[in-house]
Structure 1
Amino acid sequence: MIINHHISGLLILFTLGVGLILTLLPAPDAIAAARPAFYPATVLFWVLMQPLRFGLLTAWACGILIDVIYGTPFSEHGLALAVAAYAVVKLRELLWAFPLWQQGLLLTPVFVLYEFVLFWIDGVAGAEVDQWWRWLPIATTVLVWPVWAFVLERLAELEVR
């Protein structure tokens, strides 16, 4: 595991950039509704794996970046990522004990919490909210988590060597 290793900030920024690109790539409407949340998954991966370098404030700042790109009100992604990151911080030691595929299952409530905060803020702001399709990215993110986390971990291990 890469928890006890110092990972360069450039690698973290690179992986966040890749996650952001995967999030922003245009896709057909049928696929876009089920697109995994790569960027939040990347942010939460680094919160989990680099606790001394990537915490709540950094997760909030990453969410603000998404808010600026999407033009969303009230810093909704910043708040949602900060709340999800807090949940990961609280579950961190439990998550470290499990393999990646089980981590994905254990992170399901965290991804639900992330989407719920977005859903709630959109509702309060009066934005049009599609209640059923909003939850589909949770399932795809949980399914993609083991592969995505494996790739991120291998990239970090290559740098450590």
Structure 2
Amino acid sequence: MIMRPGQEQLLLPVRPLFIWGSLFVALLLNMLPLGRLPWMPDLLAVVLVFWGVHQPARIGLGAAFVFGLAMDVHESSLLGQHALSYATLSFFAIIIHRRLLWYRLSAQALQLVPLFALSRLIELGVRLIGGGIFPGWITLLGAAIEAMLWPVVTWLLLIPQRRPPEQDENRPL
């Protein structure tokens, strides 16, 4: 395929070890003891959506559910609160992955705001049903911050796929 100037570079295949490593790093970053501020971005949710959009056959609902259970245990919240939220988020990311990749990163981020807000509302609803306190609507600010992180996370996680392929003097591409 001949690419025009300004067109995106063809990406090399991603290694499964890199996918799982990035998810575990995001889980560890979520587990940092930074306090329980309701507007803090959920990096694991952003990385789960990224891999759900870019590699839907490798990272699906099961992985999102297991990582959600790990976050539930870490935060001592109701078991299944984050699991339900992450599974729903991953489901909708997989549904829109073909359409989403046609847009620029800024437009992708705008389209992901409702997904991240839905994820926050699910967590909030489960927390309130379980007898928790209402932290305020500032929790939805976290969804906007997660959407603003989308271009940064996309750029970081696509770096290994953009490495130059082995050059062959017999093949011009």
Please indicate the TM-score interval, normalised by the length of the shorter structure. 0.7 to 0.9
Equivalent residue number for residue 59 of structure 2? 54
Q: Name the count of aligned residue pairs.
A: 159
Once the two structures are TM-superposed, the CA of residue 157 in structure 1 deviates from its matched residue by 3.5
CA contact (8 A) 2:31 2:74 kept: no
Identity, % of aligned positions: 25
Q: Could you tell me how far 1:94 is from its partner in structure 2?
A: 1.1
Whole-angstrom distance in 2 between the partners of 1:59 and 1:69: 15
Q: Does 1:26 align with 2:42?
A: no
Which residue identity lines up with residue 23 of structure 2 in the other structure? L
Partner residue in 2 for 1:124: 129
CA distance in 1, matches of 2:25, 2:127: 26
Of the candidates 19, 22, 31, which is equivalent to residue 15 of structure 1? 22
Judge conservation of contact 2:38–2:135 (CA < 8 Å) in 1. Answer: no
Structure 1: runs of 5 or more not aligned: none
Note if contact 2:112-2:147 (Cα within 8 Å) is conserved in structure 1: yes
- Distance of 2:131 and 2:61 partners within structure 1: 27
Asked if the contact 1:81/1:114 (under 8 Å) is kept, the reply is yes
Distance 1:82 1:28, change over 3 A: closer
- Structure of greater Rg: 2
CA apart distance, 1:87: 1.1
CA distance in 1, matches of 2:83, 2:107: 26
Taking the aligned partners of 1:156 and 1:26, their CA distance within structure 2 comes to 32
Q: Where does the alignment leave 5 or more consecutive residues of structure 2 unmatched? A: 1-7, 167-173
1:103 to 99, 102, 108: 108
More helix by share: 1
Between 1:1-10 and 1:121-130, the stretch displaced more is 1-10
